[in-house]
Amino acid sequence: MQFRNLPSVDSVLAKENVATAAQSFDRDWVVDLVREALDSARDHIRQGGDSPNADDVAKSVCQSIEDTMRAEPRHVINATGVVIHTNLGRAPLSKAAIEAASQAAQGYSNLELDLATGRRGSRQAQLQSLLCQITGAEAALAVNNNASAMLLGLSALASGREVVVSRSEAVEIGGGFRVPDVLRQSGSTLIDVGTTNRTYVRDYDDAVTENTAAVLKVHSSNFRVEGFTAEVATADLVEVGRARGVAVLHDVGSGSLVLTEKYGMAHEPTPQESIKDGAGLVFFSGDKLLGGPQAGIIIGKKELVDQLARHPLARAVRIDKLSLASLTATLVHYLKDEVEQEIPIWRMISTQEPALKKRAKAWQSGLECPSIIDKSRSAVGGGSLPGETLPSWVLSLDCGETGAVEVMRRLRESSTPVIARIEEDRVLLDPRTVLPEEDGQLLDALRSAVNK
């Protein structure tokens, strides 16, 4: 009986809102959406549900159209306290980086034109100059992400040959990305040495043969091994490489160009340190602790970087013009010594507790919901500084009968979605990761979510 009550395709198309949509968009597409909505309704009936009427189906179709037309990814407010949040796009860009990308997107640009000579130029000339000045490297190259950077490096230097890696560093990072898989894809052969927790210089030295192309060191950026451990310093690996005539490659992961100890955190290896130690190539990300757009950055010895730049894969993974513009603008902040003032993640990391407590108290006013300002910890996140947290203050909401899960849902469904976290059935909002200009939107969403 329920199936007989289902409206026809024509009856749904005749509804005013759907008819208007059919005139504004491709009619065949709208008809397909109506049919899909009716198929979903049949599945609902099979599971014991009631038959929707034509108005219900029409509303569903219009919602599908609205969802499709909405720009994605959307701007959300990160109130989780996780500074580099992988699910929320990692590092937010500085105003200068946003403006640089916007300028590059408007009309044409001198992407590969030398304005001084009027001839074709390199899209990476300025970027390379900045990276070399900041890190002390001889040469530099940027691609679309760090996985591509490592794949390009191994493909260009080690295809058909062996690469020596410590067993403790043949790791997997987010999204199932595994170092052994990258080695295999590049055409090189993994030779793992040492044990899970201890590797020595002699292990590398004994593994090098006439078929060895490189020694690869990988920073454990998203986990920590403690206790009875031993690893080989980059400088010591470089000595092995020099003695045996093989390149030393170092993936430092998060790309911190500043000393993290300054902020009370553990030391994160910097690209500058690796270059100073003599590594042939250093790989790192642009959108983690560097604070820029998604990019994979390669710095090192000119002869090796040149080999990568000439490899056919370099074109397939090259950086696009918008990322190039914003990355260049981000690096300028380092030269101008304005990292804490201009790069959002470093402004967040460097913010002191009194300022965080003051903002949390400002949020608290006007809420018709029991709440307290409580001490908490913010995480760096994003595969950087595993286990490291920063002291913070949060607005902690007692959601009562509504429940924390329901309040979180309402926050996510706000016109500007707010992403918070739940602890002990309370919703916590950490001001460390909320940009100052987002406070108004956050308060609107918060009042709507808890005052319903």
Task: Decide: 351 and 434 in contact? Cβ < 8 Å.
Answer: no
Rounded to a whole number of angstroms, the CA Rg of the chain reads: 27
**Distances 327 to 91, 154, 275 between C-alpha atoms, Å:** 12, 24, 20
**What does the alpha-carbon distance between residue 251 and residue 212 come to, in Å, rounded to a whole number?**
18
Structure confidence at residue 83 (pLDDT): 96
Mean pLDDT, the chain, whole residue set:
92
**What does the alpha-carbon distance between residue 264 and residue 388 come to, in Å, rounded to a whole number?**
9
Structure confidence at residue 1 (pLDDT): 62
Task: Decide: 433 and 390 in contact? Cβ < 8 Å.
Answer: no
pTM for the model stands at: 0.89
Q: Which of 126, 3, 118, 16 is nearest to 61 (CA)?
A: 16
Q: Which of 80, 133, 180 is nearest to 381 (CA)?
A: 80
Q: pLDDT tens digits for 277-333?
A: 999 999 999 999 999 999 999 999 999 999 999 999 999 999 999 999 999 999 999
Q: pLDDT tens digits for 129-150?
A: 999 999 999 999 999 999 999 9
Domains of the chain with CATH codes: 9-68 (no CATH), 77-86+346-451 (3.90.1150.180), 93-342 (3.40.640.10)
DSSP H helices, 278-427, are: 302-310, 312-316, 321-335, 339-342, 344-350, 353-364, 404-412
Q: Which of 237, 245, 244 is nearest to 278 (CA)?
A: 237
**What does the alpha-carbon distance between residue 410 and residue 354 come to, in Å, rounded to a whole number?**
29
